[in-house]
Amino acid sequence: MKLLWKTHMRLQVIKLVFALFVVTLRTAESRKAKIVTASFEYNGINCRAHSASLTDFGGVGDGVTSNTKAFQSAISNLSQYGSEGGSQLYVPAGKWLTGSFSLTSHFTLYLDKDAVLLASQDITEWPVIEPLPSYGRGRDAPAGRFTSLIFGTNLTDVIVTGENGTIDGQGAFWWQQFHRKKLKYTRPYLIELMFSDGIQISNLTLLNSPSWNIHPVYSSNIIVQGITIFAPVTSPNTDGINPDSCTNTKIEDCYIVSGDDCVAVKSGWDEYGIKFGWPTKQLVIRRLTCISPFSATIALGSEMSGGIQDVRAEDITAIQTESGVRIKTAVGRGGYVKDIYVKRFNMHTMKWAFKMTGDYNSHADTHFDPNALPEIANINYRDVVAENVTIAAKFEGISNDPFKGICIANVTLGMAVKAKKRPWTCTDIEGMTSGVTPTPCDLLPDQGPEKIAACDFPEESLPIDKLELKKCSYNMKYVEMF
Ligand SMILES: *[C@@H]1O[C@H](CO)[C@@H](O)[C@H](O)[C@H]1NC(C)=O
Ligand SMILES: *[C@@H]1O[C@H](CO)[C@@H](O)[C@H](O)[C@H]1NC(C)=O
Ligand SMILES: *[C@@H]1O[C@H](CO)[C@@H](O)[C@H](O)[C@H]1NC(C)=O
Ligand SMILES: *[C@@H]1O[C@H](CO)[C@@H](O)[C@H](O)[C@H]1NC(C)=O
Ligand SMILES: *[C@@H]1O[C@H](CO)[C@@H](O)[C@H](O)[C@H]1NC(C)=O
Ligand SMILES: *[C@@H]1O[C@H](CO)[C@@H](O)[C@H](O)[C@H]1NC(C)=O
Cβ–Cβ under 8 Å, residues 107 and 71: no
Looking at the fold, whether 258 and 113 belong to one and the same domain comes out as: yes
Q: What integer pLDDT is reported at residue 482 of this predicted model?
A: 67
List 128's β-bridge partners, or say none.
Answer: 146
276 belongs to a structural domain: yes
| Mean pLDDT in residue range 94-104 | 98
Q: How far is CA 223 from the centre of its chain?
A: 10
Is the shortest distance between the CB of 228 and ligand 4 below 6 Å?
Answer: yes
Give the total number of structural domains in the chain. 2
Separation between Cα atoms, residue 147 and residue 190, nearest integer Å: 9
Burial (Cβ within 10 Å: 0-12, 13-18, ≥19) of residue 253:
middle
Q: What integer pLDDT is reported at residue 258 of this predicted model?
A: 98
Q: Which ligand is nearest to the CA of 129?
A: 3
Q: What integer pLDDT is reported at residue 31 of this predicted model?
A: 60
| Mean pLDDT in residue range 193-214 | 98
Ligand 3: atom nearest CA of 154 is 1
Looking at the fold, whether 275 and 257 belong to one and the same domain comes out as: yes
160 belongs to a structural domain: yes
Looking at the fold, whether 22 and 76 belong to one and the same domain comes out as: no
Looking at the fold, whether 62 and 90 belong to one and the same domain comes out as: yes
Q: What integer pLDDT is reported at residue 100 of this predicted model?
A: 98
Q: What is the mean pLDDT of the chain?
A: 93
138 belongs to a structural domain: yes
| Mean pLDDT in residue range 156-171 | 98
DSSP 390-451: EEEEEEE-BTTB-EEEEEEEEEEEEEPTT--SS-EEEESEEEEEEEEESPPPTTS-B--GGG
Separation between Cα atoms, residue 408 and residue 425, nearest integer Å: 15
CATH number, residue 198: 2.160.20.10
For the segment 333-375, what is each residue's pLDDT rounded down to a tens digit? 999 999 999 999 999 999 999 999 999 999 999 999 999 999 9
210 belongs to a structural domain: yes
Closest CA to 33 of 10, 11, 22, 17: 17
User: Residue 266 gets which letter from DSSP?
Assistant: B
Q: Tell me: pLDDT of 68 over 90.
A: yes
Q: Tell me: pLDDT of 21 over 80.
A: no
Is the shortest distance between the CB of 153 and ligand 3 below 6 Å?
Answer: yes
For 44, residues 6+ apart whose C-beta sits below 8 A from its C-beta are 108, 159, 161, 200, 469, 470, 472
Looking at the fold, whether 153 and 5 belong to one and the same domain comes out as: no
For 207, residues 6+ apart whose C-beta sits below 8 A from its C-beta are 166, 167, 168, 169, 229, 230, 231
Catalytic residues: 260
Q: How many residues does the chain have?
A: 482
Range(s) of the domain holding residue 24: 1-30
For ligand 5, atom 3, the nearest C-alpha belongs to 383
| Mean pLDDT in residue range 282-293 | 98
Question: 3-class SS at 17?
Answer: helix
Looking at the fold, whether 26 and 40 belong to one and the same domain comes out as: no
CB atoms within 10 A of CB 114: 15
122 belongs to a structural domain: yes
Looking at the fold, whether 186 and 273 belong to one and the same domain comes out as: yes
Looking at the fold, whether 52 and 6 belong to one and the same domain comes out as: no
CA of 384 to the centre of ligand 5 (A): 8
Closest CA to 99 of 188, 178, 184, 7: 188
Q: Which ligand is nearest to the CA of 229?
A: 4
Looking at the fold, whether 17 and 42 belong to one and the same domain comes out as: no
Looking at the fold, whether 250 and 326 belong to one and the same domain comes out as: yes
